[in-house]
Structure 1
Amino acid sequence: MTQIQATESANLDNSAETKTGGDWRKYFGFSTDHKVIGIQYLVTTFIFYMIGGVLASAVRTELATPDSDFVSRELYNSLFTIHATIMIFLWIVPAGTGGFGNYLIPLMVGAKDMAFPKLNAVAFWMIPPGGILLLSSFFVGAAGSGWTSYPPLSLINGQAGELIWILSVLLLGTSSILGAVNFLVTILKMRTPGMGLHQMPLFCWSMLAASALVLLSTPVLAGALILLSFDLVAGTAFFNPTGGGDPIVYQHMFWFYSHPAVYIMILPVFGMISDILPVHARKPIFGYRAIAYSSLAISFLGLIVWAHHMFTSGTPAWLRMFFMIATMIIAIPTGIKIFSWLATIWGGKIDMNSAMLFGMGFVSMFVVGGLSGIMLASVPVDIHVHDTYFVVAHLHYVLFGGSVFGLYAGLYHWFPKMTGRMMNETWGRVHFVLTFIGFNLCFLPMHKLGLEGMPRRVAEYDPKFAGLNLMATVGAYILAVSTIPFVINAVWSWIYGPKASGNPWKALTLEWMTTSPPPVENFHEAPVLWSGPYDYGIDFEEVEEDKSVEELLAEVKVDVG
Structure 2
Amino acid sequence: MSTTSGRSLVQAKRSAFRREPERGRVPQGSDAEKRLREIWEGEPGWRGFFTTVDHKKIGLRYIVTAFGFLLIGGVEALLMRLQLAQPNETLLSPEQYAQLFTMHGVTMIFLYALPVLSGFANYLWPLMLGSRDMAFPRLNALSYWVFLFAGLFLYCSFPFGEAPNAGWFNYVPFSSLQYNRGPNIDVYALGMVLLGISTTVGAINFVVTLFRMRAVGMSIDRLPIIVWGTLTVSFANLFAVPSVSLAFFLLWMDRNVGTHFFDVSSDGRPLLWQHLFWMFAHPWVYVVALPAMGIVSDGLPTFCRRPLVAYAAVAMSTVATMIIGFEVWIHHMFATGIAPLALAFFGAASVLISIPSAVAVFAWIATIWTGCPVFAVPFLYFASFVLMFVVGGVSGVMTAAVPLDWQLNETYFIVAHLHYVLLGINVFPVLGGITYWFPKFTGRLMNERLGKIAFWIVFVGFNLGFFPMHISGLLGMPRRVYTYPDGMGWDTSNLITTIGSFVLGVGIVLFVINALLSARRGKKSPPNPWDAPGLEWSVASPPPPYNFAVLPIVQSRHPMWEDRLQPTGRRSSLEEGYLLHDGREALGVQPFSGKPDVILKMPEDAWSPFFLGLFAALAFLTMLLHFAAGTVIALVGCGVTLIAWLWPRRSLAQREPPTPEQMGPKRTALNGEALPVGSAGEHSGGWWGVLALVATEASLFGYLLFSYFYSQSQTQLAWPPEGMPKIGVGALSTSVLILSSVFAWFSERTLKKSRRSLSFVWMLVAIVLGFLFVGIQLKEWHDHPYGLTAHLYGSLYFTITGFHMAHVLVGLVILGLLATWIALGYFDEQRSAPLRIGGIYWHFVDVVWLFIFTSLYATPFWMRGQ
Q: TM-score, normalised by structure 1?
A: 0.92
Change in 2 beyond 3 A, CA 1:242/1:548: closer
Per-residue CA deviation, residues 411-455 of structure 1 (Å, 9 max, x unaligned), is 111111111111001111111111111111111111011011100
Structure 1 residue 550 displacement after superposition: 9.6
Q: Which residue matches 1:71?
A: 92
Q: Which residue matches 2:343?
A: 320
Q: Which residue matches 1:557?
A: none
Q: Which runs of 4+ in 1 moved over 3 A?
A: 14-28, 534-540, 547-551
2:298 partner amino acid: D
2:495 partner amino acid: L
With 152-161 and 30-39 compared, the bigger mean Cα shift is at 152-161
Cα-Cα RMSD: 2.6
Q: Which residue matches 2:142?
A: 122
Rounded Cα–Cα distance in structure 1 between residues aligned with 2:286 and 2:301:
23
Structure 1 residue 242 displacement after superposition: 2.4
Rounded Cα–Cα distance in structure 2 between residues aligned with 1:379 and 1:69:
36
Report how many residues are paired.
Answer: 539
- Kindly indicate whether structure 1 or structure 2 has the higher relative contact order, using CA contacts under 8 Å at least 6 residues apart: 1
Please say if residues 201 and 533 of structure 1, whose CA atoms lie closer than 8 Å, have aligned partners that are also in contact. Answer: no
Rounded Cα–Cα distance in structure 2 between residues aligned with 1:455 and 1:550:
58
Per-residue CA deviation, residues 47-68 of structure 1 (Å, 9 max, x unaligned), is 1110000000011010011114
Q: Which residue matches 1:166?
A: 189
Per-residue CA deviation, residues 177-210 of structure 1 (Å, 9 max, x unaligned), is 1011010111111111111000111111111111
1:149 partner amino acid: N
Query: Which residue among 475, 483, 505 is the counterpart of 2:508?
Result: 483
Query: Which residue among 258, 265, 288 is the counterpart of 2:288?
Result: 265
Structure 1 residue 534 displacement after superposition: 8.1
Query: Which residue among 83, 92, 99 is the counterpart of 2:104?
Result: 83
Rounded Cα–Cα distance in structure 2 between residues aligned with 1:131 and 1:158:
23
Query: Which residue among 29, 46, 49 is the counterpart of 2:67?
Result: 46
Q: Which residue matches 1:559?
A: none
Q: Which residue matches 1:295?
A: 318
Q: Which residue matches 1:282?
A: 305
Q: TM-score, normalised by structure 2?
A: 0.60
Q: Any idea what SS the aligned residue of 2:549 has?
A: coil
Q: Any idea what SS the aligned residue of 2:455 has?
A: helix
2:372 partner amino acid: K
Structure 1 residue 515 displacement after superposition: 0.6
Q: In the alignment, is residue 337 of structure 1 matched against residue 360 of structure 2?
A: yes
Q: Any idea what SS the aligned residue of 2:241 has?
A: helix
Per-residue CA deviation, residues 42-101 of structure 1 (Å, 9 max, x unaligned), is 0011011100000000110100111141010111011010000000111001111x2011
Q: Which residue matches 1:403?
A: 426
Please say if residues 305 and 327 of structure 1, whose CA atoms lie closer than 8 Å, have aligned partners that are also in contact. Answer: yes
Please say if residues 269 and 406 of structure 1, whose CA atoms lie closer than 8 Å, have aligned partners that are also in contact. Answer: yes
Change in 2 beyond 3 A, CA 1:335/1:325: same
Change in 2 beyond 3 A, CA 1:472/1:22: farther
With 155-164 and 410-419 compared, the bigger mean Cα shift is at 155-164
Q: Any idea what SS the aligned residue of 1:527 has?
A: strand
Change in 2 beyond 3 A, CA 1:438/1:162: same
Rounded Cα–Cα distance in structure 1 between residues aligned with 2:104 and 2:404:
27
Q: Which residue matches 1:555?
A: none
Change in 2 beyond 3 A, CA 1:454/1:24: farther
Per-residue CA deviation, residues 501-521 of structure 1 (Å, 9 max, x unaligned), is 111111121111111111111
Change in 2 beyond 3 A, CA 1:471/1:253: same
Please say if residues 281 and 350 of structure 1, whose CA atoms lie closer than 8 Å, have aligned partners that are also in contact. Answer: yes
Please say if residues 27 and 40 of structure 1, whose CA atoms lie closer than 8 Å, have aligned partners that are also in contact. Answer: no
Q: In the alignment, is residue 112 of structure 1 matched against residue 137 of structure 2?
A: no
Query: Whose radius of gyration is greater, 1 or 2?
Result: 2
With 520-529 and 472-481 compared, the bigger mean Cα shift is at 520-529
Rounded Cα–Cα distance in structure 2 between residues aligned with 1:49 and 1:407:
12
Q: In the alignment, is residue 431 of structure 1 matched against residue 454 of structure 2?
A: yes
Please say if residues 210 and 264 of structure 1, whose CA atoms lie closer than 8 Å, have aligned partners that are also in contact. Answer: yes
Per-residue CA deviation, residues 123-147 of structure 1 (Å, 9 max, x unaligned), is 0001221111111222142111100
Change in 2 beyond 3 A, CA 1:396/1:333: same
Q: Which residue matches 2:540?
A: 515
1:45 partner amino acid: A
Please say if residues 141 and 158 of structure 1, whose CA atoms lie closer than 8 Å, have aligned partners that are also in contact. Answer: no
Please say if residues 52 and 87 of structure 1, whose CA atoms lie closer than 8 Å, have aligned partners that are also in contact. Answer: yes
Rounded Cα–Cα distance in structure 2 between residues aligned with 1:26 and 1:331:
49
Query: Which residue among 130, 152, 155 is the counterpart of 1:135?
Result: 155
Q: Which residue matches 1:236?
A: 259
Rounded Cα–Cα distance in structure 2 between residues aligned with 1:449 and 1:502:
49
Change in 2 beyond 3 A, CA 1:506/1:380: same
Please say if residues 67 and 459 of structure 1, whose CA atoms lie closer than 8 Å, have aligned partners that are also in contact. Answer: no
Please say if residues 17 and 517 of structure 1, whose CA atoms lie closer than 8 Å, have aligned partners that are also in contact. Answer: no
Residues 476-555 of structure 1: pairs in structure 2 closer than 5 A: 476-533=501-558, 538-539=563-564, 549=571
2:138 partner amino acid: K
With 236-245 and 98-107 compared, the bigger mean Cα shift is at 236-245
Rounded Cα–Cα distance in structure 2 between residues aligned with 1:226 and 1:419:
41
Rounded Cα–Cα distance in structure 2 between residues aligned with 1:481 and 1:27:
35
Q: In the alignment, is residue 102 of structure 1 matched against residue 122 of structure 2?
A: yes
Residues 309-388 of structure 1: pairs in structure 2 closer than 5 A: 309-388=332-411
